[in-house]
Amino acid sequence: MKAVVKEKAAPGARLMDVDVPAPGPRDVLIKVKAAAICGTDIHIMEWPPFAQARIKPPMIFGHECSGEVVKVGDQVKNIAVGDLVAVETHIPDETCFMCQTGLQHICEKMAIIGVHVDGVFAEYAKIPAVCCWKLARDTNPDLGAILEPWGVAVNGILKGEVNNRTVAVFGCGPIGLMGLGSIHAWGASKIFAVEPSEMRLSMVPQFAPDAVLINPAKDNAAKVILDATGGRGVDVSIDISGNPRAIQAAFEVVRRAGRVTLVGLPSEPVTLELTANVIYKEARVFGSTGRMMWQTWYEMQNLMDSGKFDPMPVITHRMPLADFAKGIELAQSGKAGKILLYP
Amino acid sequence: MKAVVKEKAAPGARLMDVDVPAPGPRDVLIKVKAAAICGTDIHIMEWPPFAQARIKPPMIFGHECSGEVVKVGDQVKNIAVGDLVAVETHIPDETCFMCQTGLQHICEKMAIIGVHVDGVFAEYAKIPAVCCWKLARDTNPDLGAILEPWGVAVNGILKGEVNNRTVAVFGCGPIGLMGLGSIHAWGASKIFAVEPSEMRLSMVPQFAPDAVLINPAKDNAAKVILDATGGRGVDVSIDISGNPRAIQAAFEVVRRAGRVTLVGLPSEPVTLELTANVIYKEARVFGSTGRMMWQTWYEMQNLMDSGKFDPMPVITHRMPLADFAKGIELAQSGKAGKILLYP
Amino acid sequence: MKAVVKEKAAPGARLMDVDVPAPGPRDVLIKVKAAAICGTDIHIMEWPPFAQARIKPPMIFGHECSGEVVKVGDQVKNIAVGDLVAVETHIPDETCFMCQTGLQHICEKMAIIGVHVDGVFAEYAKIPAVCCWKLARDTNPDLGAILEPWGVAVNGILKGEVNNRTVAVFGCGPIGLMGLGSIHAWGASKIFAVEPSEMRLSMVPQFAPDAVLINPAKDNAAKVILDATGGRGVDVSIDISGNPRAIQAAFEVVRRAGRVTLVGLPSEPVTLELTANVIYKEARVFGSTGRMMWQTWYEMQNLMDSGKFDPMPVITHRMPLADFAKGIELAQSGKAGKILLYP
Amino acid sequence: MKAVVKEKAAPGARLMDVDVPAPGPRDVLIKVKAAAICGTDIHIMEWPPFAQARIKPPMIFGHECSGEVVKVGDQVKNIAVGDLVAVETHIPDETCFMCQTGLQHICEKMAIIGVHVDGVFAEYAKIPAVCCWKLARDTNPDLGAILEPWGVAVNGILKGEVNNRTVAVFGCGPIGLMGLGSIHAWGASKIFAVEPSEMRLSMVPQFAPDAVLINPAKDNAAKVILDATGGRGVDVSIDISGNPRAIQAAFEVVRRAGRVTLVGLPSEPVTLELTANVIYKEARVFGSTGRMMWQTWYEMQNLMDSGKFDPMPVITHRMPLADFAKGIELAQSGKAGKILLYP
């Protein structure tokens, strides 16, 4: 089969012919219907220290996808050949303290598809049954491919209250955009969207029609938000950018007793004014990573079923798997929403 | 001034001339702009044991209102002559354990305006400053008069999660209708509205456009809701009726680990199947009364400011104070939303 | 092997020779080291409608036990021959909404060991690996046999706060006693223990040394508790008796904004004064059943490891499996703590 | 009367004769029975930028105290001449959003006794009635003087669960010591105490007998704690030191899904590794300041009444008010617990 392989410990990747993987007794084999490009894939391509520390070439990468089940291991319950599934990227070990207390998504011995084991930028992929989310068979496979990143936003949003709250979102890439749509649908009273890319900022109104748009390259985001809230600040501040300056602003604009959720991953330590912005305010801060298995997925399903939000407009580009390099370059540019690849 | 007085320990009431009350140092005197009729007022008029046990005639009753401040006691901070205020009915003693831990609305020594002290069906009313909620001066006074009952719904709704949840509401009188509008605005994924009065049921779509309407006089509400949720039941079940049969149904339809909130006041003990409907389900049950001071009021203000919900359509009738008896009769009939009286 | 078999749909049971069960690929076979008698076993013996509705003879019953693993299915991870395990009675289906959101203990398709499938009053038992809690190999097997009932108490206690709280416990059978010990260890400020059996009441001080002992056959429990709390009531009220009168008292004595947890299973509907005892008080009520998998078990392990509480004194009698009928009779009498059987 | 006055905008202070203050209508006048020295008093004495920015000389400082009420303003309810009170330092404005939603201790317009208005290092002090906590008249006044700092610890501890949890406390000055005693009494399963002063560390066992003592000047605290928890880390990590290195360690040692509470005030921004220590762990972080009015005080009262913990051993020195300079010097040295001054 065709697959995008990180062949060597160096920048780049190659579309190659490889063997179709053989599923184990608790795995399924899927025919990949649609895969999406994530920031992690850019890192794997570029080969910075972050990638060098995690990836052991040669391996197939890519992890966001939907697929049709074509084989099931003999210990697999509840999934059948012909099912359409979306893939949860995190493989929990199922035996650690976290896994045994309902928090598989922060498993102490987590493996990640497309990072620690072969991924989904391929015609077929072997997926542990425990990482499959069944979709109605008539679901658009493109939707299935973007549930995983949407779930990153939903997990962070739902660390606390959002209905009837003022919410500031820092970072409006694909995850931020889908997050904004969810926050809007769940009844936030006022939304601020902060993003330096004008292209991305211009997409916000499709997701949160009444959001106040702020380009931090032009305006002081913290000042704009504090002014618009009479100096009090927002109830909820969510960083999806990982940018240290944005994270600092997220803490500056949260009100007393407000909530900060951190989703974006800063690539370096961040310096925070804890006395004024956390302690005197009695702020509550929540780290958020991945998606709860399966609470977050049910939340997405509920939201879609309610008809209140459709994440599909986040997809701006679609191309064959063979054009993966072009897709990754486009993703790097910041001038795209979600980009889908079709094997 | 003119006032509606419960003169004697017997059914009925009378519009009389009485002295304008003199506010104490921590009170304000308001000129009542609009007052609304509540179920309690019906009880006071009808004089059942419930009323006999609480009311000491002669007294002015009525408690839902807005008014313009015309005098302020010399210890009053933060309220000035000319302010428009809505009235919180519950007078906390401010010194008990509940009052001192943020729960004034369930004060251990609560007094209630229009029940324990003179009320607002009058041209003027003396209101403790601690019971005044300031409105922007250009607010429609009619809106100010319905915040108190709307708050009853909001307090109950916000005992837990509602965004992205399936919610069943039992009882669609004025409180239930405003509750439905709030639940809809705060992103419930699916709403069931249960009400035996066809007139009230027909008002539901103005408040929650997509709600499933159920008349329990015609259909088995529990069965309809269970069928519509694949047998699982709803995430949240809220009784605003106080009807024992509705309360039982609220427990039947809640799903495992779901939430039941009880707002309506049953006039007799209720027999519940606790083993199947609470214990095996691990249901969570929350009593709710009055409005949090002032969390609930901020929630209403936020919701109005967000433009997502306007409770005004709950008002179906308006009449002069002198017609109070007609208004109370209309309220008794169940063939009205909220009825306003103008002194 | 020897096993206690419910042979026929009639009162009684018989010790018989049966085949040693063969574990499936995801099961283990244990050699039962110690088993404990539960109220459910009494029901199975006596054969009331509750048992008739659930049990399909012939079957082996008994479900509380510890055992040494002697065989493991080929799909079993993390459990090895020679391990000592305690048994979780509830078999979750692992695929329903509850199981997939961290609430396996209230699985929508639960099966129960010793009720729906063969149990542990036998020399050997087949146990799904997903129901095994590994113990240090030098753990006293008697302790392993009482974790399951202790967990029933712990799950109920931890539905909310307990440290620094006044707590009333209704029902001081084995589960109640172990619950009292846990509540004491977790820093309750004052404890009330209500139990009509003098024998059981006399055991309370071993578990909660400072508890106020109340025999509801002699004193009005609600009155005693209200008097001792200045009329305010307790912060937390936990019913472990299932007795309707005790449940009513649990609601009477809880304070405004307090918590009621229901653990005991009433055999009939219970009539409650909801207006005064739930709604006006804004009480919070939590149903509790079984044990969280595996949060509750970790809580027990932590408590034992801390050295703050030892549940072993709850065991008052030990006898060979062949004496099961005598043990069940003793349990029926209410004149025992926990009774262990040794195959 | 005699009072310790910060006379000039420069280091130092002076015992002077000043007028006895006159209480307003909502104040009380107390005869100070015992006052305690706080870190803030050291700052006021030393006159660093922190003090220069807040203090407007001349003024009386000191804020931790108990006193007997000798006069009451005519609007004061519930406090009488002869009452013994402890003083809450934070004066809420009672009208802001925080004050109106149960969070007076983080009032948006807070004034602080002994910082913004005259304090309690004096024979008499004027205290707003809203800042008085009534004690039983036979309470030891020394105890009344240490409730305020003890409350700082209690507020931080109770931002989340503590019973049955492993807890690391960074900073074992007077607040930390009283916090350790509370954590122990509330059923923590294992406690780690981190403190560089050997004198303070040696006091820990009086408060938390089983605590593991760690001197970060000698050992790597994070390593010791991680090793002792099998690499997992603690459930709860509380910083009471304000030391940046300790705060970093608090984040390093918290387990996945664990809680960090920040109580100590760092005097400069702190650099944190958010990706590994907050986001990937899904840590929950809570700022904590002052004491909840009055939830925290009830918690202290409950704990004292339960007999499970007595904070009095934190008092190591007692001296007349005239020796305030000696007392402050002693406090600066770190070689003392709490130091009391008697006017």
DSSP assignment of A152-177? HHHHHHTTS--TT-EEEEE--SHHHH
User: Which pLDDT score, from 0 to 100, does residue A109 have?
Assistant: 97
The one catalytic residue among A40, A89, A166, A261: A40
- Supply the DSSP symbol for B275: I
Radius of gyration of chain B (CA): 20
Q: Give the residue-averaged pLDDT of A71-100.
A: 96
B43 assigned to active site = yes
Q: Does the pLDDT value for residue A50 go beyond 90? A: no
Identify residue D208 by its one-letter amino acid code.
Answer: A
The phi, psi pair for A192, rounded to 5°, reads -115, 135
User: Which pLDDT score, from 0 to 100, does residue B50 have?
Assistant: 87
Q: Check: CB of residue B306 under 8 Å from CB of residue A163.
A: no
Could you state, in order of their start, the residue ranges of all structural domains in chain C? 2-151+292-342, 160-287
> How far is the CA of D12 from the CAs of A23, D44, D55, D95, D116, in angstroms?
77, 8, 13, 36, 18
Interface of C with A (CB under 8 A): 25-26, 75, 77-78, 94-95, 97, 100-103, 292-295, 298
Cis-peptide, bond into residue D58, ω within 30° of zero? yes
**The token pair that represents A122 in the structure block:** 């391929």
- Supply the DSSP symbol for D230: T
- Supply the DSSP symbol for A99: G
Count other C-beta atoms under 10 Å from residue C183's C-beta: 28
User: Which pLDDT score, from 0 to 100, does residue D50 have?
Assistant: 87
> How far is the CA of B26 from the CAs of B74, D81, D218, in angstroms?
7, 22, 60
pLDDT by residue (tens digit) across B61-89?
Answer: 999 999 999 999 999 989 999 999 999 99
> How far is the CA of D297 from the CAs of C14, C284, D88, in angstroms?
60, 23, 9
Q: Give the residue-averaged pLDDT of C148-174.
A: 98
User: Which pLDDT score, from 0 to 100, does residue A155 have?
Assistant: 98
Interface of D with A (CB under 8 A): 97-98, 103, 106, 108, 232, 242, 247, 256-257, 262-263, 265-267, 269-275, 278-289
For chain A, the straight-line distance linking the first and the last C-alpha, in angstroms and rounded, comes to 10
B268 exposed, middle or buried (CB, 10 Å; 0-12, 13-18, 19+)? exposed
Which residue is closest to C292 within chain A, CA to CA? A101
Q: Check: CB of residue B41 under 8 Å from CB of residue B51.
A: no
Q: How far is C50 from chain D (nearest CA, A)?
A: 36
User: Which pLDDT score, from 0 to 100, does residue A77 have?
Assistant: 86
Q: How far is D211 from chain C (nearest CA, A)?
A: 11
As annotated, the active-site residues of D are 40, 43
Residue ranges of chain D with per-residue pLDDT less than 50: none
Which helix (H) or strand (E) element contains residue A261?
A: strand A254-262
Q: Which of C164, C188, C303 sits opposite D189 (nearest CB)?
A: C303
Residue ranges of chain B with per-residue pLDDT less than 50: none
The phi, psi pair for A44, rounded to 5°, reads -60, -40
Distance (Å, rounded) from C-alpha A292 to C-alpha C132?
24
Q: Check: CB of residue D287 under 8 Å from CB of residue D265.
A: no
Count other C-beta atoms under 10 Å from residue C57's C-beta: 15
Q: Which of B186, B189, B305 sits opposite A163 (nearest CB)?
A: B186
pLDDT by residue (tens digit) across A272-312?
Answer: 999 999 999 999 999 999 999 999 999 999 999 999 999 99
C280 exposed, middle or buried (CB, 10 Å; 0-12, 13-18, 19+)? middle
Four-residue CA torsion sign, C305, C99, D276, A161? negative
Q: List the beta bridge partners of residue A15.
A: A4
Distance (Å, rounded) from C-alpha C314 to C-alpha D1?
64
**The token pair that represents D182 in the structure block:** 């509370």
User: Which pLDDT score, from 0 to 100, does residue D27 have?
Assistant: 98
C-alpha closest to that of D3 among D148, D126, D111: D126
C-alpha closest to that of D126 among D109, D114, D141, D108: D114
Superfamily of the domain at B2-151+292-342: Medium-chain alcohol dehydrogenases, catalytic domain (3.90.180.10)
B161 exposed, middle or buried (CB, 10 Å; 0-12, 13-18, 19+)? middle
Contact call for C26 and A95, based on CB within 8 A: no
Rounded (to 5) percent helix, strand, coil in chain B: 35, 30, 40
Radius of gyration of chain D (CA): 20
Distance (Å, rounded) from C-alpha A86 to C-alpha A80?
14
- D312 SS3 class: helix
- D215 SS3 class: coil
pLDDT by residue (tens digit) across C285-324?
Answer: 999 999 999 999 999 999 999 999 999 999 999 999 999 9
Which ranges of chain C does DSSP label H, i.e. alpha helix?
39-46, 49-52, 141-157, 174-185, 198-207, 221-228, 244-253, 274, 295-306, 324-333
Q: Which of C266, C273, C285 sits opposite B275 (nearest CB)?
A: C266
Mean pLDDT of all residues in chain A? 97
Four-residue CA torsion sign, B167, B168, B169, B172? positive
Characterise C290 by phi-psi region: left (phi > 0), alpha (psi -120 to 50), beta (else): left
Q: Check: CB of residue C197 under 8 Å from CB of residue C335.
A: yes
Distance (Å, rounded) from C-alpha C34 to C-alpha C66?
6
Contact call for A275 and D288, based on CB within 8 A: no
Distance (Å, rounded) from C-alpha A39 to C-alpha A60?
16
User: Which pLDDT score, from 0 to 100, does residue C207 have?
Assistant: 98
Contact call for D100 and B293, based on CB within 8 A: yes
Tell how far CA B265 is from the center of its chain. 11
Q: List the beta bridge partners of residue C167.
A: C191, C236
Q: Is the pTM of this model over 0.95?
A: yes
Q: Look at the domain D160-287 and name its fold.
A: Rossmann fold (3.40.50)
Q: Does the pLDDT value for residue C88 go beyond 90? A: yes
User: Which pLDDT score, from 0 to 100, does residue C217 have?
Assistant: 97
The phi, psi pair for C298, rounded to 5°, reads -60, -40
Distance (Å, rounded) from C-alpha B65 to C-alpha D143?
48
Count other C-beta atoms under 10 Å from residue C46's C-beta: 13
Chain D hits for A103, CB-CB cut-off 8 Å, are 256-257, 282
Place of tokens 């049953």: B266
- A15 SS3 class: strand
Which residue is closest to D165 within chain C, CA to CA? C302
| Binding partners of D (≥3 Cβ pairs within 8 A) | A, B, C
Characterise D309 by phi-psi region: left (phi > 0), alpha (psi -120 to 50), beta (else): beta
Q: Check: CB of residue D326 under 8 Å from CB of residue C212.
A: no
Distance (Å, rounded) from C-alpha C219 to C-alpha C216?
5
- B199 SS3 class: helix
User: Which pLDDT score, from 0 to 100, does residue D334 have?
Assistant: 87
Q: Give the residue-averaged pLDDT of A255-263.
A: 98
Q: Does the pLDDT value for residue A19 go beyond 90? A: yes
Query: What string of DSSP letters covers A318-343?
Result: EEEGGGHHHHHHHHHHT--SEEEEE-
- Supply the DSSP symbol for C117: B
Query: What string of DSSP letters covers A206-224?
Result: HHSTTPEEE-TTTS-HHHH
**The token pair that represents B16 in the structure block:** 């009389």
**The token pair that represents C172 in the structure block:** 């001081």
Whether the ipTM is more than 0.85: the answer is: yes
**The token pair that represents B262 in the structure block:** 């009880």
Distance (Å, rounded) from C-alpha D274 to C-alpha A131?
27
B90 assigned to active site = no
C-alpha closest to that of A286 among D236, D238, D285: D285
Which ranges of A92-196 does DSSP label H, i.e. alpha helix?
141-157, 174-185
